[in-house]
Amino acid sequence: MDRKAVVEKRALLLDDYFKVEEAYVSYEKFDGTMSAPVRRLDLVRGDAVAAILFDKERQRVILVSQFRYSALSRGTGWTTEAVAGVIDPGETPEQAVRREILEEAGYEVEKLERVFCFYPTPGITSERTILYYAEPRGDGPVAKGGGLSHENEDIRVVELPLKDAFQQLDRGEIADAKTIIGLMWLRERVSSARS
């Protein structure tokens, strides 16, 4: 059932790598009445793509490790995660995910399948992540990977045997939401294929 929401006032607070928008919004509550206007912030960045890259032949999951400043407040700042990035203007999600896989992991894609589109943190951002399952070409990496130096990326490719990737997931060693979602999906897919 669709409910009503009314944006009464909107302002741009920050216009940088991403934007921060402030809004005062009233929304229809579950009892049918309208709420009083409440202040909300939206981190506006556009949509992103991510890929669970799986080499079926070698039974390896290809992830990346990189420093994330926001994760530093709760740990070392280093994360192991699925290849991901923002969709550039004029680019389709499929083009973006293929570009990111090449830039970050050095692979060209043989098979690409859209899995989910989701809001990673809808309480603070309108960004959606479009998650893909990807199988690399069988001839190995065609580029160095590691990200783009002009974007100050320093990315290490992490190739894990499938069993090890699932064990890291189960032990809570992978804390990135898109990667957790993707690995859980992959585990179900692999399990279904074996039965």
Q: Which residues are catalytic?
A: 151
Please check whether residue 80 is in contact with residue 64, taking contact to mean a CB–CB distance below 8 angstroms: yes
- Nearest-angstrom CA–CA distance, 83 and 104: 7
- Residues 148, 154, 156, CA angle at the centre, nearest 5°? 110
Per-position DSSP letters for 63-87, written without gaps between them:
EEEEE-HHHHTTS-SEEEE-EEEEP
Bridge partners (DSSP) of residue 116 are 131
The alpha carbon of residue 32 and the mean position of all alpha carbons in its chain are separated, in whole angstroms, by: 35
Q: How far apart are CA 170 and CA 74, in angstroms?
A: 20
Angle between helices 177-194 and 162-170 (to 10 degrees): 130
Pairwise CA distance, residues 5 & 27, whole Å: 4
- Collect all residues with Cβ–Cβ distance below 8 Å to 37 and sequence separation of at least 6: 8, 9, 24, 25, 26
